[in-house]
Amino acid sequence: MLKFDDTSNDERLAKLHQQEEEEFLQIMSGKHGIPYADLSAIPIDTGAVGLIKEDLARAALIAPFDLAGKKLKVGLFSPTQTNTKEVLASLAERGFIIEQYLVSHASLEKVWERYQEISGATKSEAGMVDISVENMAGLVEKFTTLTAVSEALQKTVTEKTARHISNLFSVIIAGAIGIRASDIHIEPAEDAIHIRYRIDGVLHEVVTLPHAIYRLFSSRLKLLAGLKLNLGAESQDGRFSIKIADIEIEMRVSIIPGAYGEGVVMRILNPLSLNVTLEDLGMSPRLLAIVEKEISKPHGMILNTGPTGSGKTTTLYAFLKRIYSPEIKMMTIEDPIEYHMKGVSQTQVETKKGYTFLEGLRAAMRQDPDVIMIGEIRDSETAKVAINAALTGHMVFSTLHTNTAAGAIPRLIDIGVTPKIIGSSLTVALAQRLARKLCVECKKEDAPNEREQKIIDEVATLIKEKVGTVVQTKKVWRSVGCIKCNNTGYKGRVGVFEAVLMDADIEALLDTIPSEREIREAAKKQNILSMREDGIEKILAGATSFDEVERVVDLEGE
């Protein structure tokens, strides 16, 4: 008796049906004006998939598969289906720029398979990852001091409810946002997990967690940030966003393996904390006038230097906001985009996808911009293209890792820029640090000690010679601490600046490949305060303390 291979026949019919569907969608692609995509050979981004719940994605026949910054690629079977339109609209409301692609059921299934990977964490233990917008907004308003956050976290850690992990997660994040922390550090140690907030550049411990709770917490964090749950021995980077009162706060998550567990740093990109004006930065009146003049020029290059976390990018944003006009095209290449600016074309570096600062700059040059901001110049090629942009009629803002303004020129030469063209392109090099401002509620007036008085007298003479300002030299202010400043004595930060202008004296030095010291000596004639002098001036004005400025600037001498 003959036996037919029904399974083989079914497979052939299924393949034929899939092929017909793919061909049909290619035809419909032209009709709807939406590109067709076959996702069978395209890597799927779990971070994108997690933006829509599985049941909603399946019902709407929709599948997000790639996320770069705010650009989201979405596969869909029918653009006319009502619930598909609703899901797309909700994504757009969350600030995503959507690229639509027509895809088959097979492609959709490939993306939907990733939900198994994402949901693996929630099946192992009780507790859900759920950040309610209303709940989060209420928590943020409640947390105005470190003490309030610590007490709430201690209470949440001891909860015995099914949602205690989600509650813990919400309190940690809401507390950090409420007291304007810039980062959340989660550091496993032998005894416990230490959670610290970075406030005004300084870390403060808020709570410790047992290792058992942290394992659950870590899974939820990875789930929300779109990271792989089964990797514990590799570093990973992810992100997620929280919307509070119409403000979207982005969280950048970095995870690295350690001896006692995975260490986590969550960077909080809050638009409110970055929304500062040029006047808010703390520049002296003379330097502010110089900077306003230089950034208003039609072309040239302005470099801002300093270590990581010294506020360089915030300063560049202030430059962009000051010169913004609908009549000029402004573009940025950033890593990451920290503050979304209306009317500015912003792009984000994606190194894994080949979009580097260099590629971004080359692409930007083809877009006919008037002003370009490059997050950082890291290599010779980027530096050369940036300088060429400044020479061909563009205004270029960027950052460079050197310790002083005078060090910017030797650094450019060191990475391969021809010295002669630096004089024609670079207009001003800045350097900055961030010092904490004294709390106005509790700061205490005091007399300088012997060492402080010696430095103050020396610098006060230099300030008078350079800018003609006579500063008082007999009073300083000390930090005390009160409830309004979380008992730190400080609240907010102010910039300490210096600058070197490209003038005839500096340009004459370039052929000799000058050292940082030679440039600093030649720049003294410009009568711009050094960081040491600017810091002392702020101390004597009561803006900050001697100890705080000395933490970020060498006050002993130059």
For the record, the structure tokens of 350 come out as 């994606």
Say which residues have a Cβ less than 8 Å from residue 143's Cβ, sequence separation at least 6.
Answer: 149, 152, 174, 175, 177, 178, 179
Identify the H or E element spanning 424: helix 419-425
Angle at the Cα of 28 from the Cα atoms of 26 and 34, rounded to 5 degrees: 85
Alpha-carbon distance 409 to 508, whole Å?
A: 13
pTM, to two decimals = 0.73
Query: pLDDT tens digits, residue range 424-458?
Result: 999 999 999 999 999 999 999 999 999 999 999 99
Say which residues have a Cβ less than 8 Å from residue 452's Cβ, sequence separation at least 6.
Answer: 476, 546
Alpha-carbon distance 34 to 53, whole Å?
A: 24
pLDDT at 539: 97
CB–CB of 140/270 below 8 Å?
Answer: no
pLDDT at 9: 64
Residues in the chain with pLDDT < 70? 1-15, 116-135, 161-162, 274, 557-558
CB–CB of 435/519 below 8 Å?
Answer: no
Angle at the Cα of 32 from the Cα atoms of 26 and 36, rounded to 5 degrees: 35
Tokens 């290599």 locate to 379
**How many CB atoms within 10 Å of residue 1?**
2
DSSP-assigned letter for residue 144? -
pLDDT at 558: 61
DSSP-assigned letter for residue 36? B
Q: Is the dihedral of CA 116, 120, 124, 126 positive or negative?
A: negative
Identify the H or E element spanning 434: strand 426-438
For the record, the structure tokens of 428 come out as 């001003």
CB–CB of 522/506 below 8 Å?
Answer: yes
DSSP-assigned letter for residue 355? B
What interhelical angle do 105-112 and 114-124 show, nearest 10? 30
Query: Can you say how many angstroms the Cα of residue 259 is from the centroid of all Cα atoms in its chain?
Result: 28
pLDDT at 161: 67
DSSP letters for 162-212: TTHHHHHHHHHHHHHHHTT-SEEEEEE-SS-EEEEEEETTEEEEEEEE-HH
Phi and psi at residue 557, to the nearest 5°: 165, 170
Query: Can you say how many angstroms the Cα of residue 476 is from the centroid of all Cα atoms in its chain?
Result: 35
For the record, the structure tokens of 481 come out as 């601490």
pLDDT at 2: 42
CB–CB of 383/412 below 8 Å?
Answer: yes
For the record, the structure tokens of 551 come out as 């933490």
Longest CA–CA separation in the chain, Å = 111
pLDDT at 349: 85
Tokens 């035809």 locate to 27
For the record, the structure tokens of 531 come out as 């960081």
CB–CB of 253/264 below 8 Å?
Answer: yes
Cα–Cα separations (whole angstroms), residue 173 to 185, 270, 483 = 11, 12, 21
Alpha-carbon distance 291 to 361, whole Å?
A: 24
Half-sphere exposure of 412 (CA within 13 A, CB side): 31
Alpha-carbon distance 391 to 396, whole Å?
A: 10
pLDDT at 221: 87
Alpha-carbon distance 463 to 469, whole Å?
A: 6
Say which residues have a Cβ less than 8 Å from residue 283's Cβ, sequence separation at least 6.
Answer: 291, 495, 497
**How many CB atoms within 10 Å of residue 415?**
16
Angle at the Cα of 430 from the Cα atoms of 314 and 400, rounded to 5 degrees: 75
Alpha-carbon distance 498 to 528, whole Å?
A: 7
